[in-house]
Structure 1
Amino acid sequence: MYQYDQYDQTLVDERVAQFRGQVRRYLAGELSDDEFRPLRLMNGLYLQRHAPMLRVAIPYGLLSSRQLRMLAHIARRYDKDYGHFTTRQNIQYNWPKLEETPDILADLATVEMHAIQTSGNCIRNVTADHLAGVAKDELEDPRLYCEIIRQWSTFHPEFSYLPRKFKIAVTGAIHDRAAAQVHDIGLNLIRNQQGEIGFRVLVGGGLGRTPIIGHVIREFLPERDLLSYLEAILRVYNQYGRRDNIYKARIKILVKALGPAKFGAQVEAEWEQIKNSGLVLDADEIERVRCYFAPPPYESEADRDLSFGQWLKGDKAFAAWVRHNVADHKIEGYRNVFVALKYPGVPPGDISADQMDAVADLADRYSFSQIRATHHQNLLLADVRQADLYPLWHALTAQKLAAPVIGTLADMICCPGLDFCSLANASSIGIAQQINEKFDRLDYLYDLGEIRLNMSGCMNACGHHHVGHIGILGVDKKGEEWYQISLGGSSENDATLGDILGPSVPKTEVANTLERILRVYVERREDDERFLDTFRRIGLEPFRARVYPAVGTSPAVLELEADAA
């Protein structure tokens, strides 16, 4: 993984000192709320319902065991003994004291971490496939390009005050696990006919109030031109993006207004002016960064322990965990292990300080001291020897981190919702618990197969509800919490936005409504068809017909409310 040089460390240390002075001046009354707001946002600090929230950057989701132990220390010392992993491969702390946030940032700096550009109208944390470097279907490791983009974008003076926040995802595999099509910029690593590495460039994707799938504006961008082309896109957006309306300020609105072809033409014109500037990526620079992501020292006979097959046959619980929480690895004898942050009764994505320390210890023992954060609010231990899976499972089970639910209904994405967020209209965590209690039988979850359930507490869509196979959105109706349900979304290669099922349902009926939806699926699916495939084959109407008579909605009211939605 990337290691700070003296320039990185100096920049981060100086930012900590700068923010310490800003907090002191604010608490002394020398800075107003309006003056302090952009300063705190530059350092990842939000004001939530009950306390400040600090978002810490985890570039492309990669952590060392040392860094994870520091995150555990921060949870114990400054928070309420836990942290929350997000869909953008970051971690959030929901209970820090404002006056102690500079101390948190100082502690983070000692392990090459920070909260810079995790909020505000700037280029946010660059994300990647959580299986980067270890996936069988990977063309090229995207992390080195994420790191190059991170270094280029951090403190970029021209892009510190964009019209709105800006998110970039990079994927290097056949299977898109980074949701590249719903980012402001999505980069897919590809090879051209000459065998050269480059990028397929998408722009204008995003969720929130106006969900849009990104558009391809360049089918092949040479590797050397990555930064100059990104700069051209950002310049066009910075010049023409709307600043008069926060809800219309994202690049997706500009691309939609101009049309992808015209927007792309403006980018190409800007790029012609700068593509041969100092932003050209030469082979030496690419190789310099690539060295930080060299493969670990794999053993040539990592799978020679024959007891693995015996454990699979003799322990049904272990076999279920392997089937659901363990993924293939590109190196024979190694596996990728998902650490499930989806234990019943615990908000999805939450992890205690003790659990963080335990995972760090397990990473040292079984995974070359590295941990990854995933887009589905779990962790991943890559590079685990197959022979080590059984003792690792026992250790994770003891920490309540081995729920065998990855990819099932119980592996839901869930934002903090009304429990913490000042923007939320409705709670999410309580609904997650309601669903867990309703569907608590593993054999039933396994029978349902792969289902992506995503839930957001407001239209900002931090829970990515638009692209869930089943999406749940909390809405406010005259002070009461209701929930709108959508079906058929996906954030993968076949990216689609879900269709709204109909009128929102009351808080008490979310799990019951979900049960009716799933009954239709079980009755109508063919062979081993996934929920998403069944929905695409039979459409919305069979699900709608089953749900709304059960909640007493007439067809006329249904039509009116659906039109309004």
Structure 2
Amino acid sequence: MFDARPSRPETESEYVRYRAAQFRQQVARRLDGSLTEEEFRPLRLMNGVYLQLHAYMLRVAIPYGTLDADQMRVLAHLAETYDKGYGHFTTRTNIQYNWPKLIDIPDMLDALATVGMHAIQTSGNTIRNVTTDAFAGAAADEVADPRPYAELIRHWSTDHAEFQFLPRKFKIAISGGAEDRALVTAHDIGLRLVERDGARGFEVWVGGGLGRTPILGQVIRDFLPEDDVLPYLEAIVATYNLSGRRDNKYKARIKITVSERGIDAFRADTEDEFVRRRAAFTGVVRKALHGFQNRFAAPSFRDAPTDSYDAARSKRAAFRSWTDTNLRPHRADGYASVIVTLKAPGATPGDASGEQMRLLADLAERYGHNDLRISHDQNVVLPHVHVSDLPAIYDALLPAGLATANAGKTSDIIACPGMDYCTLATARSIPIAQDIAAHFRAEGLEDEIGKLNIRISGCINACGHHHLGHIGILGLDRAGVENYQITLGGDGYDIPTIGQRAGAGFPAEEVVPAIDRLMRAYLDLRDHPEERFIDAYRRLGVEPFKAALYPAETEAA
């Protein structure tokens, strides 16, 4: 007889195993015909299982993008045992397996549970994976490491009884630095750590989101004391849960609720709800944070000579190029954060093989204080590396195809899986990204172009975040033919901006020539070699770049 509750979960580990055991029984019922696909659908979605174009897909949660070596090795094992040898890291810092057999997914969940991982709330109309900065705990500009707060929010939101059936999915991001590297303005709720008069708290944004109606969030509280973060978040989500639309899924996100009601009315209801809920959280945040902050204490950084690093940079041009491009400043002297881009020439953006994952786990364990991060731009970060170890890391990455010196450049493209996998996609993303990357490398222009953020989505749902790209590309279906719209001037970082559609779309074969014209125009128009494309666009406006994209229209005018 089916046991709806195999065991009573008391700890997080037991809860994860309980959910895996429960899903194993649900899969058995689907396979023996006791459940139809329609009946099974909500059950599988609660466990991160989608039915895609060709197969089921399992989306595994990587909370705030943080992994240790053992967890990465389990992800490698899943790729090699149950998929086609690779996994796909997403813009929400999760990993997706696109080819598992349904009968194997319970075994995959059991393997994940051995290292404290799961697929809970990676789908459905609930609070999804909380994301933050891939350089958290390492960046020099931090007010504080945002990961303890992300962990606090994860515990609060997981299986929250009130919020399992929201009007629509719900996404939260938290940033800890003076520079927002978590795209807080593009989330349902965005939190920025700030300090005021010696007290730590949050600037709270609400109502951001992309998709078919891209909207940047608005500030609902310019300063929220640290101790109030959970009751205030709960008040926001409760207000949305009661007032959000359920008659039309395209208008069900909180961005539409805030837009239709106005930020002042939404804020007033949230503040009332906050007053009602606040007392229940007295002392909860501070007590929980104390334990989480200990868990995320900085590693013991070592003091070592940097002569070997300096010598390698002077003698090896390729190594010097990689360190110039793929390193980010670190809070500790002699350390750097290393971006390992999953965007080698010809590679699928975000894909990593089991062998590559295992290598990254080994490097993190040996050189990186057992710490790995998945970034929302679909790369892997080793956040704490002493520069004396960089030559050895580079030499290990090189034969694995992971030493491409392109972080933040033309070929470091963010792309959703598109029509190669996704049932919702209306056009391909991966081949377009590969063609653009290959073209500018072949032309020898990538280094000359410099910093450039290109993002590609295969449908209006915008999983590639094309609205926030300096150059955004949106693939659509036009009478059975793939057509690609180009947006310009988007940014999710220093000046959050939704990109502006440049004009009519291009057929697939004309996308690369169009981007080539755009880049050559930029190189001619920029004020100096260090002026980024986005800065030239802001200085000059859209017209000169639109003219490059549509030369025939310019000539006709």
The 1-side partners of 2:82 and 2:288 are apart by 39
The answer to whether the 8 A contact 1:228-1:279 is kept is no
- Give how far 1:398 is off: 1.5
**Which residue matches 1:536?**
538
From 243, 252, 262, the equivalent of 1:259 is 262
The 1-side partners of 2:105 and 2:99 are apart by 10
**Which residue matches 1:166?**
170
- Give how far 1:280 is off: 4.6
The 2-side partners of 1:86 and 1:497 are apart by 21
- Give how far 1:523 is off: 1.0
Matched, 1:416 2:420: no
**Which residue matches 2:4?**
none
Matched, 1:346 2:347: yes
The 2-side partners of 1:554 and 1:377 are apart by 41
**Which residue matches 2:41?**
37
**Which residue matches 1:133?**
137
Q: 1:316-366 CA distances to partner (integer Å, 9 max, x unpaired)?
A: 100000000111110001111111100111100000001111111111110
From 236, 241, 244, the equivalent of 2:247 is 244
Q: 1:22-56 CA distances to partner (integer Å, 9 max, x unpaired)?
A: 11111112112222111101100011000011100
The 2-side partners of 1:145 and 1:553 are apart by 55
2:541 is matched by which residue type in structure 1? G
**Which residue matches 2:17?**
13
**Which residue matches 2:512?**
511
1:86 is matched by which residue type in structure 2? T
**Which residue matches 2:62?**
58
**Which residue matches 2:71?**
67
The 1-side partners of 2:149 and 2:459 are apart by 33
The 2-side partners of 1:159 and 1:537 are apart by 45
Pair 1:550–1:391, CA change in 2 (3 A): farther
**Which residue matches 1:210?**
213
Q: 1:483-502 CA distances to partner (integer Å, 9 max, x unpaired)?
A: 00000000113100000010
The answer to whether the 8 A contact 2:426-2:459 is kept is yes
The 2-side partners of 1:52 and 1:461 are apart by 21
Pair 1:371–1:57, CA change in 2 (3 A): same
Secondary structure of the corresponding residue to residue 382 of structure 2: strand
Q: 1:163-191 CA distances to partner (integer Å, 9 max, x unpaired)?
A: 00000000010111111110000000001
**Which residue matches 2:91?**
87
The 2-side partners of 1:553 and 1:184 are apart by 44
Deviates more, 1:434-443 or 1:524-533: 434-443
- Give how far 1:449 is off: 1.3
1:267 is matched by which residue type in structure 2? T
- Aligned residue pairs, count: 548
2:125 is matched by which residue type in structure 1? N
Secondary structure of the corresponding residue to residue 96 of structure 1: coil
Secondary structure of the corresponding residue to residue 284 of structure 2: coil
The 2-side partners of 1:274 and 1:433 are apart by 50
The answer to whether the 8 A contact 1:227-1:280 is kept is no
Matched, 1:365 2:369: no
**Which residue matches 1:291?**
294
The answer to whether the 8 A contact 2:230-2:281 is kept is no
Q: 1:382-434 CA distances to partner (integer Å, 9 max, x unpaired)?
A: 11111011111111111110100001011000100000000000001111121
Deviates more, 1:541-550 or 1:261-270: 541-550
From 13, 26, 33, the equivalent of 2:30 is 26
Pair 1:197–1:30, CA change in 2 (3 A): same
The answer to whether the 8 A contact 1:167-1:183 is kept is yes
Secondary structure of the corresponding residue to residue 279 of structure 2: coil
The 2-side partners of 1:325 and 1:394 are apart by 14
The 1-side partners of 2:519 and 2:297 are apart by 45
Secondary structure of the corresponding residue to residue 200 of structure 1: strand
The 2-side partners of 1:442 and 1:327 are apart by 27
Q: 1:242-281 CA distances to partner (integer Å, 9 max, x unpaired)?
A: 1111100000000000111111111001111111213653
**Structure 1 unpaired stretches of 5+:** 556-565
The answer to whether the 8 A contact 1:227-1:279 is kept is no
2:533 is matched by which residue type in structure 1? F
**Which residue matches 2:494?**
493
**Which residues in structure 2 correspond to 1:51-450 (within 5 Å)?**
51-192=55-196, 194-278=197-281, 280-299=283-302, 301-302=303-304, 304-441=305-442, 444-450=445-451
The 2-side partners of 1:443 and 1:479 are apart by 35
1:341 is matched by which residue type in structure 2? L
Identical columns (%): 51
- Give how far 1:546 is off: 2.0
Deviates more, 1:286-295 or 1:454-463: 286-295
The 2-side partners of 1:65 and 1:442 are apart by 38
Q: CA RMSD in A?
A: 1.4
**Which residue matches 1:453?**
454
The 1-side partners of 2:452 and 2:73 are apart by 33
The answer to whether the 8 A contact 2:152-2:288 is kept is no
The 2-side partners of 1:281 and 1:127 are apart by 22
The 2-side partners of 1:277 and 1:436 are apart by 53
The answer to whether the 8 A contact 1:85-1:349 is kept is yes
- Give how far 1:298 is off: 1.0
- Give how far 1:550 is off: 4.5
From 46, 52, 59, the equivalent of 2:50 is 46
The answer to whether the 8 A contact 1:168-1:184 is kept is yes
Pair 1:452–1:281, CA change in 2 (3 A): same
**Which residue matches 1:558?**
none
Deviates more, 1:354-363 or 1:280-289: 280-289
Pair 1:257–1:377, CA change in 2 (3 A): same
The 1-side partners of 2:437 and 2:367 are apart by 31
The 2-side partners of 1:551 and 1:70 are apart by 54
Secondary structure of the corresponding residue to residue 485 of structure 2: strand
Q: 1:439-482 CA distances to partner (integer Å, 9 max, x unpaired)?
A: 11485211111100000000100000000000000010100001
The answer to whether the 8 A contact 2:175-2:182 is kept is yes
Deviates more, 1:180-189 or 1:34-43: 34-43
- Give how far 1:549 is off: 2.7
1:423 is matched by which residue type in structure 2? L
**Which residue matches 1:561?**
none
- Give how far 1:222 is off: 0.6
- Give how far 1:283 is off: 3.0
